[in-house]
Structure 1
Amino acid sequence: MDVDEAMFSVVADARVLVHGKYAGTIRYVPDRRTALVGVELDRACGDNDGIDEGGRRLFQCKPLHGLFVREEQLGFRRLVYSNAWNLLDNTQEQLNLMRSEKFKAAEHTIAQLTKGRSLSRTVSDAEVAGITVEADYRGPHVHWPLELSNVLAVLDSFKTSQVLHHKYVLELLNAGVRALAPLPTLQEITVAEGEKLTVIGDLHGQLQDLFSIFSINGLPSPTNKYLFNGDFVDRGLYGTEVVMTLLLFRLLDPTSVYLNRGNHESRNQNSWMGFEDEVWGKYSGAEDGDLERPARLFERFQALFEVLPLCAVLQSKIFVVHGGLFSRDNVTLAHLRGIARKREPPLHQLGFEDKIFEDMLWSDPRAIQTRQPSERGAGVEFGVNVTNNFCLVNKIALIIRSHECVPEGFEILHGGRLITLFSASRYCGTQMNKGAFLTLGPELQPEIQQFYAHALNESSFTTAAPPEQAQLQGVLEEDTLRMIAERICDHKPSLFWYFTQHDDEHDGTVSRLVWAEALRSVLQLELPFLTYQPKLAALVDENSTRINYSQFLARYRIENDAVD
């Protein structure tokens, strides 16, 4: 049972899935780990009523609702929902890419109609200098040249959710563009004696994780360097503050902080996954009539994202990239150095440069040999042979990448040659994953530290108490079901057609098995739909195993409060 014992332990009354598909509740826990666990199943698909093969009654349940199984045959519902959430989250990115492609034509038309009136992506230093900080502004101030005390004062204000004035945001963004634009696409980073470098995975606007890492591992300094491996924004509430914090330390000392670009440092993701909404919410400009302010700020963030380097090599031996490797063999570091990066990341292009640019931000490793199409709709899923080829061609010993939420905060694949690193703990407030960061000294021996973030205004580092874990499980289940419901809405005609073709009794109903297979086939999602059936679809009656598919589909509709 490959799970964290602290989170998924075999205890009485725990909800489980037997063989990955039969929902039930643990009723009997043996004294020995090698003995069988007694489970009361929700449906009559067992072989006893709580009496074992020796004739002992170990628990009480209805006939054919009992089953004795080995511990490794149990799946814990929280883990099942977590895996389902990750799969749905990946397909959500694919949907966003499809939406972005559809909107390209509309954006071009709008640009033509507004020609001559479009908002400039450049805000000059003179324009920024002319912005007045109001007398009643109570947030932090940024003074130039930067000093550590000033940076810490800004961070302290972020702990209480104060919003940095838009003048200072523009100053930092302009300074960041100037500092990062001259950098190479592939950064060469060294770690000298007496120094260490810490690699940070996805943060996704979760400022509490960034501050927790600083509390545990120390602030950036010339001897305590950091490499942030992309996906600073989207999904979390504090994307602007995460970017401002990284820029403050980078501008304070360029040798202390290095930044790689992730797939969420792009317009096509920010427009759908939360960061654009965050900027508009925090900097609406409505209070003083500057209605162009949020759009202007958002454009400057995009200008910053476009100059971020794409990858790094540490001590000529460790390759660090946000997504992963490539859809073709024999890609060299020289190829990566030559990429023209200062643009929106290309998608679905056929050219060599565009494709490896896309792969660096979007690809994922898998326990396979070669390659297969990506569930995300961009990049590629690559196996151990791809990793070995890249390492051999480029004399690389280890690959560090991020891009995926993993339960422990890190995952080691491909014979130890590849590490996934994810630093946003309790991701999106729905997952129960740990965060992790990786530290290296001059000898390049990686040390991984796991953590759970504390609240922004706290300094303790305790893990969640059981009531909070239960609350998170409820949120995770609710979010998973919501994402499934969205896909049902998108595919109602196809689902109805499938049901009518399998309505063997011609009475408007299908069996639970047919219903689950319909969702798997039409939605193209390999999820345990029978587990979700009680929450998604009602049975005809309590003694039935059939679902009225018209009533099921009628439950799911897209609502628009602006339309009567």
Structure 2
Amino acid sequence: MGCTGTKHLFMKKECKALQKKDVMGSAERAMKAALLIQRWYRRYLARQEIRKRCSWNIFQSLEYAGEQDQMKLQNFFHDLLTHLSNVKPSVAAAISNSPAASLRGLEPLPKDQLRLAAAEAELYRNTDPAEIFVEETYRGAELIPPFNTEHVNRLIQSFKERRTLHAKYVLTVIHEARHYLKHLPNISVASTAFAKQITVVGDLHGKLDDLLTVFYKNGLPSKDNPYVFNGDFVDRGIHSVEVLMLLLLCMLVWKDSVFLNRGNHEDFNVNLRYGFLKEIMYKYTRQAPKIIQATEDLYSWLPFATLIDNKIFVVHGGVSSTTDLKTIAAIDRHQFATVLQPPGQHSNYTYKEWRQVVDLLWSDPRSLNGCQPNNMRGGGSFFGPDVTEAFLKKYDLSLIIRSHECKVDGYEFTHNKKVLTMFSASNYYDVGSNRGAYVRLDGPTLNPHIVMYVSTAQTRKATIQQRSGLMEHSALRELKHHIFACQSLLKKEFLLIDPSNSGTVKISDWCNIMERTVGLKVTWRMLCPKIAQVDHQKGLVHYESTFDEYYMTNALAQNGPSFLESLYRNKEALETIFRIMDKDGSGLISMQEFQDACDLLGQHAEQPMSKDQIEQLAKSIDINKDGFIDFNEFLEAFRLADKTPSLEEKSPEQEDYATFDQNLDQDVEITRL
């Protein structure tokens, strides 16, 4: 009996021990599983982050390449005009005295006070809103001074309903804003003594939904809710007119509570390339030249920066080692209709003043000490932490808030948290590319509180993988457009290192050729499998597959670059040249405008054309014989000039291609296999 009880007790203890062991084993397995899942998830996030950064690198490289091209094109025409002023002053005067002279990047003639008054009277006479009739069918907002909060609410509602503001009211707002801005200093002074807070908004770039999101989250401006909008209101987005009108109206209603800084895109020489000019012409057609002329003058009255409580300096681009606030405060900013060119012999400002303004609007911070020219953008400076520290110490400031650069999360602290970059246009490069953000400075210490957002439901609801996929797809699409533009050059380079015509090259050679020929410093080795077929075992790339995924709807030339390739490489430059020649902004080049442009270009040609030759050329380009050259005819002339001898005998498909019609607002059609 006792033995039986002892045995039973022993078995009971053994069972409990086994149960305890099983329990411990389950816990251990669960822990190991959790650690494994965590490790997998970290790897997954790391892969998504790499994809995102790779796509980001593509977008930024393309953006900076475009800005460099714009600077080069602007400098080219500036040099031409400078040369022409010395050789043939009559032609230079004809161009410079056009209503849109400074819009074309040409230097204004010297102006005294009497001429300034005369210029102001002429501007108002040319752009008087009273001369514009409002049709009975118009259903948009009506903006008649004096403006109040109700006007702002009506305008917002009208824009939500996608109604275009009438040209009469656009000009009314612009002129009211011009008169107000004229009396402001170059550096605005904002105070939080009453409101105890202030909000700073970065680049909006025509993204109306982002501006409305900011107002929804943070409230409309008021005495209790002041704002600083830090430049780049227009370009790239399709609602630049709406964004600019809403900001100007808010400034006029709450004059002591809304501050607008000038950005590098508040410059019509930049607008020529990045879309705002095209948007105005599309929305306002006949009244577009008036709006363009008035808006250009408006830009020149925008202050350069805002100083908050003598503690925080808000500027669009940044500073440099030579930035001097006293010099900036004394500049006649109205002379800077454009900042893309240095002063010439007839300019009313010095090189030192021009350099100060360019650095404010175009500079970027970097991690290295010192100050260097910003070659990536083609203008401004790269300023290091030591430059920031010296500037803040010199003027007893605590922080620089700037914009100018798109950031993944809409903001970024650099230089030991002494520089804060704010970017408020979400989905800037494409859907899913980035968040927008604004910063609210609270309390007597102006403590920054950053709010991030995405203005489209599509990206708000997307998973991490979906967002990365959208961004990567968009980046690769843009990159492949640039690759296609260099197709013939790339094939020539590949054949040089593949004399046996095997169709393969080493991965390293493929990367070097792509970077050298396409001209973009992106992560080509990582991108290689996504662009071309790779034999990883042999380390070879089938370079012909680089061009397989996309094909043109029309046959390409087999020898030498085709028209479409040339068009892809030069489309933005051609569009900019067209708008430079179109001095009155009508969307058409008149015979006289064409004559002036040819005279200008002829001064640098080895064999300049005679007047009769220019007239014959203009008539040959004017296909429909209406006396004007539109953009389609301009591109057709480029096509004919770009033809190579190998295209003299064309196939039926190439004959069809000769009738290709390039619309003003369309890219060349690409079909995906």
TM range (shorter): 0.7 to 0.9
Q: In the TM superposition, what whole-angstrom CA distance separates every residue of 1:69-109 from its partner, at most 9, and x where no partner exists? A: 79768743133212321232122222222223334467898
How do 1:260-271 and structure 2 match up within 5 A?
260-271=261-272
Decide which structure has greater helix share. 2
Once residues 211 and 532 of structure 1 are traced to their aligned partners in structure 2, the CA distance between those partners, rounded to angstroms, is: 37
| Structure 1 residue 463 displacement after superposition | 6.1
Identity across aligned pairs (percent)? 31
Letter in 2 for 1:521: R
Once residues 33 and 360 of structure 1 are traced to their aligned partners in structure 2, the CA distance between those partners, rounded to angstroms, is: 51
How do 1:321-470 and structure 2 match up within 5 A?
321-326=315-320, 328-329=321-322, 331-342=323-334, 343-347=336-340, 349=342, 351-374=351-374, 375-454=376-455, 464-466=460-462
1:259 alignment partner in structure 2: 260
| 2:305 is equivalent to residue 304 of structure 1 | no
2:16 alignment partner in structure 1: none
Once residues 478 and 104 of structure 1 are traced to their aligned partners in structure 2, the CA distance between those partners, rounded to angstroms, is: 38
Unpaired stretches in structure 1, ≥5 consecutive residues: 1-28, 40-68, 286-292, 456-460
Look up the SS of the partner of 2:206 in the other structure: coil
Once residues 437 and 370 of structure 2 are traced to their aligned partners in structure 1, the CA distance between those partners, rounded to angstroms, is: 28
Residues 541, 383 of structure 1: alpha-carbon distance in 2 compared, 3 angstrom cutoff: closer
| Structure 1 residue 454 displacement after superposition | 3.8
Letter in 2 for 1:480: A
Once the two structures are overlaid, the 10-residue window that deviates more, 229-238 or 428-437, is 428-437
Q: Which of 91, 97, 100 pairs up with 2:71?
A: 97
1:201 alignment partner in structure 2: 202
Residues 180, 192 of structure 1: alpha-carbon distance in 2 compared, 3 angstrom cutoff: same
Letter in 2 for 1:169: V
Q: In the TM superposition, what whole-angstrom CA distance separates every residue of 1:281-318 from its partner, at most 9, and x where no partner exists? A: 11113xxxxxxx21221121111111100111111111
How do 1:46-125 and structure 2 match up within 5 A?
75-104=49-78, 118=99, 122-124=123-125
Once residues 111 and 142 of structure 1 are traced to their aligned partners in structure 2, the CA distance between those partners, rounded to angstroms, is: 40
| 2:219 is equivalent to residue 245 of structure 1 | no
Look up the SS of the partner of 1:224 in the other structure: coil
| Structure 1 residue 381 displacement after superposition | 1.5
**Counterpart contact for 2:505–2:543, Cα < 8 Å:** yes
Look up the SS of the partner of 1:184 in the other structure: coil
Letter in 1 for 2:370: T
2:512 alignment partner in structure 1: 517
| 2:312 is equivalent to residue 318 of structure 1 | yes
Look up the SS of the partner of 2:285 in the other structure: coil
Letter in 2 for 1:511: K
Once the two structures are overlaid, the 10-residue window that deviates more, 430-439 or 265-274, is 430-439
| 2:526 is equivalent to residue 531 of structure 1 | yes
Once residues 473 and 301 of structure 1 are traced to their aligned partners in structure 2, the CA distance between those partners, rounded to angstroms, is: 38
**Counterpart contact for 1:499–1:549, Cα < 8 Å:** no
Look up the SS of the partner of 1:123 in the other structure: helix
Once the two structures are overlaid, the 10-residue window that deviates more, 528-537 or 243-252, is 528-537
Residues 280, 544 of structure 1: alpha-carbon distance in 2 compared, 3 angstrom cutoff: same
| 2:25 is equivalent to residue 31 of structure 1 | no
Once residues 46 and 370 of structure 2 are traced to their aligned partners in structure 1, the CA distance between those partners, rounded to angstroms, is: 29
Letter in 2 for 1:382: F
Residues 341, 479 of structure 1: alpha-carbon distance in 2 compared, 3 angstrom cutoff: farther
1:295 alignment partner in structure 2: 289
**Counterpart contact for 1:34–1:70, Cα < 8 Å:** no
2:138 alignment partner in structure 1: 137
2:542 alignment partner in structure 1: 547
Letter in 1 for 2:514: L
- The count of residues paired between Structure 1 and Structure 2 equals 492
2:494 alignment partner in structure 1: 499
Once residues 135 and 155 of structure 2 are traced to their aligned partners in structure 1, the CA distance between those partners, rounded to angstroms, is: 17
Look up the SS of the partner of 1:188 in the other structure: strand
**Counterpart contact for 1:125–1:171, Cα < 8 Å:** no
Residues 359, 33 of structure 1: alpha-carbon distance in 2 compared, 3 angstrom cutoff: farther
Look up the SS of the partner of 2:421 in the other structure: strand
Residues 402, 354 of structure 1: alpha-carbon distance in 2 compared, 3 angstrom cutoff: same
Look up the SS of the partner of 2:367 in the other structure: coil
The TM-score, its normalising length taken from structure 1, stands at: 0.78
**Counterpart contact for 1:426–1:452, Cα < 8 Å:** no
1:189 alignment partner in structure 2: 190
Residues 445, 434 of structure 1: alpha-carbon distance in 2 compared, 3 angstrom cutoff: same
Larger relative contact order (CA 8 Å, sep ≥ 6): 2
Residues 367, 115 of structure 1: alpha-carbon distance in 2 compared, 3 angstrom cutoff: closer
Once residues 367 and 514 of structure 1 are traced to their aligned partners in structure 2, the CA distance between those partners, rounded to angstroms, is: 31
Once residues 126 and 102 of structure 1 are traced to their aligned partners in structure 2, the CA distance between those partners, rounded to angstroms, is: 30
Once residues 48 and 471 of structure 2 are traced to their aligned partners in structure 1, the CA distance between those partners, rounded to angstroms, is: 20
The TM-score, its normalising length taken from structure 2, stands at: 0.66
**Counterpart contact for 2:267–2:339, Cα < 8 Å:** no
Residues 71, 338 of structure 1: alpha-carbon distance in 2 compared, 3 angstrom cutoff: same
**Counterpart contact for 2:369–2:387, Cα < 8 Å:** yes
**Counterpart contact for 2:261–2:302, Cα < 8 Å:** yes
**Counterpart contact for 1:88–1:480, Cα < 8 Å:** no
Residues 249, 75 of structure 1: alpha-carbon distance in 2 compared, 3 angstrom cutoff: closer
Once residues 536 and 526 of structure 2 are traced to their aligned partners in structure 1, the CA distance between those partners, rounded to angstroms, is: 18
Once the two structures are overlaid, the 10-residue window that deviates more, 251-260 or 69-78, is 69-78
Look up the SS of the partner of 2:290 in the other structure: helix
**Counterpart contact for 1:511–1:547, Cα < 8 Å:** no
Look up the SS of the partner of 1:284 in the other structure: helix
**Counterpart contact for 1:387–1:417, Cα < 8 Å:** yes
Look up the SS of the partner of 1:416 in the other structure: coil
Look up the SS of the partner of 2:416 in the other structure: helix
Look up the SS of the partner of 1:192 in the other structure: coil
Residues 448, 498 of structure 1: alpha-carbon distance in 2 compared, 3 angstrom cutoff: farther
Once the two structures are overlaid, the 10-residue window that deviates more, 549-558 or 83-92, is 549-558
**Counterpart contact for 2:198–2:441, Cα < 8 Å:** yes
| Structure 1 residue 446 displacement after superposition | 2.8
| Structure 1 residue 188 displacement after superposition | 1.7
Unpaired stretches in structure 2, ≥5 consecutive residues: 1-31, 85-90, 102-121, 344-350, 552-560, 568-634, 640-657, 659-673
Once residues 71 and 236 of structure 1 are traced to their aligned partners in structure 2, the CA distance between those partners, rounded to angstroms, is: 31
2:281 alignment partner in structure 1: 280
| Structure 1 residue 444 displacement after superposition | 3.4
Once residues 214 and 490 of structure 2 are traced to their aligned partners in structure 1, the CA distance between those partners, rounded to angstroms, is: 46
Look up the SS of the partner of 1:87 in the other structure: helix
| Structure 1 residue 442 displacement after superposition | 5.0
Residues 530, 174 of structure 1: alpha-carbon distance in 2 compared, 3 angstrom cutoff: same
1:12 alignment partner in structure 2: none
Once residues 467 and 212 of structure 2 are traced to their aligned partners in structure 1, the CA distance between those partners, rounded to angstroms, is: 21
Residues 370, 214 of structure 1: alpha-carbon distance in 2 compared, 3 angstrom cutoff: same
Residues 106, 202 of structure 1: alpha-carbon distance in 2 compared, 3 angstrom cutoff: same
